[in-house]
């Protein structure tokens, strides 16, 4: 029996991708039952994979970090577009099977693909570097992933924080989460994920994916979110952790004005007001009206106040 069924959507000369029949066959061989706890919804439509890879705009020499490769649907598409792929998979069964699937369908897969059995919530550059594919010229420069719905935002923020060489990427997440990540100040869905993602650079929603291209089919649509890392942070001289503390405090009680919402963070309402005014922000403003640069200026202003108070 061939290792894969025909991908009838592939143009002549184009390497085939996993079909719905392939996915179900491999899952049956592994006695695999997708679990909600690991967010396992496998893409079974090759054209959707091609769409995702095209939207990721990868360079041929790039090393891609993929989170949650599952049975390899997206992995094969990434291997066609980039020099190397390192896939981080929490499921030991699918992690063990993926290299064999890739080797059966792509020449030189052993030099171009590395599979790391681990948790993307805690994965480090050192762990990724330890399994780096031979074809990779360095660490990952792009993140492309079908992220598990239940941990999509923390995984994305973890990767952006700990992998500074990742310059851009595309992630597929629950559509509601995609809207939040890409939202700007003033939007009804703008909040903590929006502001924190914007710290690293521009984020935009670039597409919607229906439910029927997955197995098992989720109840809701997915969204494609593209990001690019900015060359510099929004405001120089302020630490990310300090800015994120302001963001968390500002949105913890959305209905409160920033003077009230930031009183605990600053130590008092008057200290919060002083920091806000020093940052050029009206104290009666609410958090959803501010961009990430505003939050950064507030953090910087409070830092300057603390320095003066302790001098």
Known binding-site residue numbers for S-adenosyl-L-methionine: 41, 43, 68, 89, 119, 146
Task: Name 215's bridge partners.
Answer: 42
Structural contact between residues 200 and 247, judged by C-beta atoms closer than 8 angstroms: no
Residue set of the binding site: 41, 43, 68, 89, 119, 146
Q: Locate all alpha helices (DSSP H) within the chain, ordered by sequence.
A: 20-29, 46-56, 73-81, 92-105, 109-112, 125-130, 152-162, 175-182, 192-200, 240-252, 258-261, 263-266, 269-278, 292-310
Q: Which tokens go with 188?
A: 């009804």
Q: How many residues does the chain have?
A: 311
Report the b/e string of 132-170 with b at 16+ CB within 10 A. bbebbeebbbbbbbbbbbebbbebbbbbbeebeebbbbb
Residue 255's CB is within 10 A of a number of other CB atoms, namely 8
Count Cα neighbours of 155 within 13 Å in the Cβ-side half-sphere.
27
* Cα→Cα distances 2→18, 105, 196, 260, Å: 12, 10, 46, 65
Cβ within 8 Å of residue 112, ≥6 positions away? 79, 83, 84, 85, 106, 133, 134, 135
What residues form DSSP beta bridges with 170?
A: 144, 226
Token digits of residue 180 = 């939040």
Exposed (0-12), middle (13-18) or buried (19+): which is 258, by Cβ within 10 Å? buried
């Amino acid at each position: 029996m061939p290792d894969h069924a025909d991908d009838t959507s592939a143009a002549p000369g184009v390497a085939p991708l996993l079909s719905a029949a392939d996915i179900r066959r491999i899952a049956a061989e592994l006695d695999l039952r997708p679990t909600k706890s690991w967010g396992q919804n496998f893409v079974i439509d090759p054209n959707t994979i091609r769409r995702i890879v095209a939207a990721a705009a990868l360079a041929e020499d790039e090393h891609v970090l993929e989170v949650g490769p599952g049975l390899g649907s997206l992995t094969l598409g990434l291997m066609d577009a980039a020099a190397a792929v390192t896939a981080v998979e929490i499921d030991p069964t699918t992690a063990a099977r993926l290299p064999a699937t890739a080797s059966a369908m792509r020449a030189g897969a052993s030099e171009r693909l590395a599979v790391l059995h681990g948790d993307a919530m805690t994965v480090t550059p050192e762990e990724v570097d330890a399994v780096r594919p031979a074809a990779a010229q360095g660490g990952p420069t792009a993140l492309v992933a079908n992220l598990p719905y239940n941990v999509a935002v923390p995984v994305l923020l973890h990767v952006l924080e700990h992998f500074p060489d990742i310059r851009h990427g595309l992630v597929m997440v629950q559509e509601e989460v995609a809207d939040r990540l890409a939202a700007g100040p003033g939007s009804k869905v703008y909040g903590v994920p929006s502001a924190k993602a914007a710290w690293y650079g521009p984020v935009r929603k670039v597409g919607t994916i229906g439910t029927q291209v997955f197995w098992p089919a989720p109840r809701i649509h997915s969204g494609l979110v593209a990001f690019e890392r900015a060359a510099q942070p929004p405001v120089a001289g302020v630490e990310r952790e300090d800015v994120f503390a302001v963001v968390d405090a500002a949105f913890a009680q959305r209905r409160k004005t920033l003077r009230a919402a930031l009183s605990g963070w600053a130590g008092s309402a008057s200290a919060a007001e002083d920091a806000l005014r020093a940052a050029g922000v009206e104290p009666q403003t609410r958090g959803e009206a501010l961009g990430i640069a505003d939050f950064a200026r507030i953090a910087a202003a409070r830092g300057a106040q603390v320095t003066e108070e302790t001098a």
